[in-house]
Each structure stands twice: as C-alpha cells, then as structure tokens.
C-alpha cells in the first residue's frame, strides 16, 4: 500500500486527522504497520478509540478499490495532504483534512478567496446582500467559498457564477449524498466554474456532526469570512469561530436590531468583527487594493461565458483610456448593428462602459 492509498484508506476509516495520523506514524513507523497492528496496540496510541481501532483492523483493500473506482466514475479527483495541488491556505490550518475529493478544478488564484456564509432561513435582505457582495468580490478576481447550503450559501455561489467568477463549494457529505438535493444542479455549475470539495468518503451521509468539520474547511480556504446573516445559534457563527482560530479575518454585515436573523452578525460586530457595508471594506482589510490587477482572470472567465470570438476581439479594441466609438467600429471590421449588439453584451457583463460623447472604456 503506497502513501496515497494509505491516506485515502485512513480517511475512509474516519475520525483520523493529521494530528492522529502523526501519532500513529510516530508509534508504528509506517502505514503498513498501522493496518497490520493488533487492536490493543492501536488503542495504545493517544486519541485512537476502540471503535476506530476496530475499523482500521476491519478495513480491506477491496474497500479502497471500490472507492477509487466509484470516484473515477463520478469524475472526481482525490488530492491528499502531500500533493502539490492541495490548497496552500488549507494546508496551514490545525489538523487539515487528509484527503479532498474534488469535482472541478482548483487553481492557484484560489489562494485569494473570501468565504461568504449565513443563515439557511435567510431574509430577502440577506439573500440579495450575499449575492451582491459575492458578485462584486468575484469581479475583483477573488474566489468565493461557501457551503452550498440553502439560503445565504446558495446566494453567494450564484452571485459569483452570475459575475463570471470562480466559486468553491464545501459539502458536509460524500459525493454520493449531495445535500441539499435541490442543489445538485448548482453543484454541477460550480464544478464548471471552480470546484466542489468534500473531505468525506463517497457514501458519507449529511450527518449533523459533519457540518462543523465542513465549516473549518470553508474558513481554512479563505483569507477572511463574511457572515451575511446569522441567528443566535447559527452554524455560520461556528465558521466565524474557526476563522478566528485559524487567524483569518471576520467580517459581518449589520442587520436590523430587532431581527432574530441578524442577532449573530450584530453580536459579531460588537465582539470586534469588521463591519461591512461595501466591498472595499473587505478589500482594504485584506490589504487587497490590487484587486483591479486580479480582475484579468475574471474578465477572461466572463468572456468565455456564452461569448463569441467577436466579443473578445471587440473587447481587445477598448482600453483603460477612453476610445471613440467610431474608431472601435472602424477597427472591428463589423457593421454598426453587430458592434452595438456586442457592446451591449460587454456592458451587461460589466466589462465595458460608455462615457459621454460616444467614448468607450473598460470597466476593469
């Protein structure tokens, strides 16, 4: 059994993170010795219960083979803590996941990520704010990370997607039990423009105890976490706690003082979270005034979405300095109705804006 197989196997056993793995290796010296050890020897390792010891002893190579074959059929990539593709932000948290199941692609640019979380039973104010902030931050080139739950999480993912940006969903179950079921289609969209990630083996059900573990991954991947709306005992507050433990910034959107769904966010602000009213509040706190420079990738993504090569060509004729419409028309070799149609698309994608006097300029 090689290291990759051992890490996936131990992850399938469950209740073994990087800290317990380190203790097992210190005690037994190799992965082979771990799987061949007697239960009483396994229990002698700090943190290994009788239940975990029994599962290690009962684990079979056939279990691993089935898991790997099923992951392949689902189009998943399995990344272990040792792989170069493992996200740098996540690798540096206490007890990072041993294994990540990934649908989609992780990119280096995802190191510049912001988590957006909040209530499942969100108000219109919360939903619209989550989508707005997500879209605006995505347009600045930041990747939006959330948990694909109902409410605020779903709005955050959709905001990034509508803006043509990247988004990452962290789920609290295995890929054979995506939850909630109504977001299965959303998961496919996210995978096409970012990634869906789980640390849980494929058959893991969406059990209550899995979601705090998921929340630590949301904050672990992010430079900071924005809590949009949260009641007194909201799971989003757990994400904020993890963010603080991991040295991440915590942001909160203020809400009505008599609203139960804003109790958690208002309380976070009283405790020292950064009050947020515009995206610049987040960019400044994260020392990311360079977000304009990051927008190149986002521009490319937005041009890819339902765009023809003519869109990209016309966009290339417009710069960050005002240029006359007639000059763009002449250089494009297109007729005037085609240019107007393309310009409308580019303006709707917030790539180009029109100035007085028929002048055009890039928005980013």
Which domains, ranges and CATH numbers included, belong to the chain?
Answer: 1-63 (1.10.150.20), 103-285 (3.40.50.450), 306-362 (1.10.10.10)
Task: Report the alpha-carbon distance of residue 219 to residue 240 in Å, rounded.
Answer: 8
- pLDDT category at 278 given cuts 50, 70, 90 is very high
pLDDT of residue 287: 75
pLDDT of residue 294: 45
Highest mean pLDDT among 54-58, 67-71, 136-140 belongs to 67-71
Give the helix ranges, DSSP H, for 144-259. 152-162, 184-192, 210-221, 235-245
pLDDT of residue 340: 85
Helix (H/G/I), strand (E/B), else coil: 7: helix
Q: Is 84 exposed, middle or buried (0-12, 13-18, 19+ CB in 10 A)?
A: exposed
Strands of 99-104's sheet, edge to edge? 77-80, 99-104, 194-198, 167-170, 143-146, 113-117, 224-227, 249-252, 274-275
Task: Report the alpha-carbon distance of residue 17 to residue 345 in Å, rounded.
Answer: 48
What average pLDDT score do residues 47-64 get?
93
- In tens, the pLDDT along 214-266 reads 999 999 999 999 999 998 888 899 999 999 999 999 999 999 988 888 999 99
Whether pLDDT at 292 is above 60? no
Whether pLDDT at 83 is above 80? yes
pLDDT of residue 23: 93
Task: Report the alpha-carbon distance of residue 23 to residue 104 in Å, rounded.
Answer: 33
Q: H or E element: which one contains 340? A: helix 336-348
The residue among 205, 188, 201, 187 whose CA lies nearest residue 68 is 201
- In tens, the pLDDT along 126-144 reads 999 999 999 999 988 899 9
pTM comes to 0.78
Q: Kindly tell me the number of DSSP H helices and DSSP E strands found in the chain.
A: 18, 12
pLDDT of residue 141: 87
């Amino acid at each position: 059994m090689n290291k990759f197989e051992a890490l996936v196997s131990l992850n399938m056993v469950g209740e073994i993170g990087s800290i317990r793995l380190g203790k097992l290796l210190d005690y037994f010296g190799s992965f082979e010795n771990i799987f061949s050890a007697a239960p009483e020897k396994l229990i002698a390792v700090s943190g290994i219960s009788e239940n975990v010891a029994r599962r290690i002893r009962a684990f079979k190579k056939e279990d691993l083979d089935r898991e790997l074959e099923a992951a392949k059929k689902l189009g998943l990539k399995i990344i272990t803590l040792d792989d170069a593709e493992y996200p740098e932000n996540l690798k540096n948290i206490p007890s990072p996941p041993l294994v990540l199941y990934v649908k989609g692609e992780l990119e280096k640019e995802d190191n510049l990520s912001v988590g957006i979380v909040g209530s499942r039973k969100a108000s219109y104010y919360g939903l619209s704010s989550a989508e707005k902030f997500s879209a605006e931050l995505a347009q600045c080139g930041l990747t939006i990370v959330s948990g694909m739950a109902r409410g605020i999480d779903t709005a955050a993912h959709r905001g990034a997607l509508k803006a043509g940006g990247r988004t990452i969903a962290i789920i609290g179950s295995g890929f054979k039990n995506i939850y909630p079921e109504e977001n299965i289609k959303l998961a496919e969209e996210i995978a096409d423009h970012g990634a869906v990630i789980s640390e849980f083996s494929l058959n893991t059900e969406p059990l209550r105890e899995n979601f705090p573990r998921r929340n630590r991954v949301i904050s672990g991947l992010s430079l900071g976490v924005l809590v949009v709306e949260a009641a007194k005992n909201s799971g989003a507050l757990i994400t904020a706690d993890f963010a603080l433990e991991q040295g991440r910034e915590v942001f909160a959107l203020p809400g009505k003082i008599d609203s139960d769904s804003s109790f958690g966010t208002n309380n976070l602000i009283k405790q020292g979270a950064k009050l947020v009213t515009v995206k610049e509040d987040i960019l400044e706190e994260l020392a990311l005034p360079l977000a304009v420079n990051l927008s190149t990738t986002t521009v490319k993504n937005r041009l890819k979405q339902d765009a023809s090569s003519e869109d990209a060509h016309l966009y290339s004729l417009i710069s960050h300095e005002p240029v006359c419409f007639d000059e763009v028309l002449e250089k494009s070799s297109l007729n005037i109705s085609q240019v107007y149609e393309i310009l409308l698309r580019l303006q709707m994608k917030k790539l180009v804006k029109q100035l007085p006097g028929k002048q055009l300029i890039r928005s980013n």
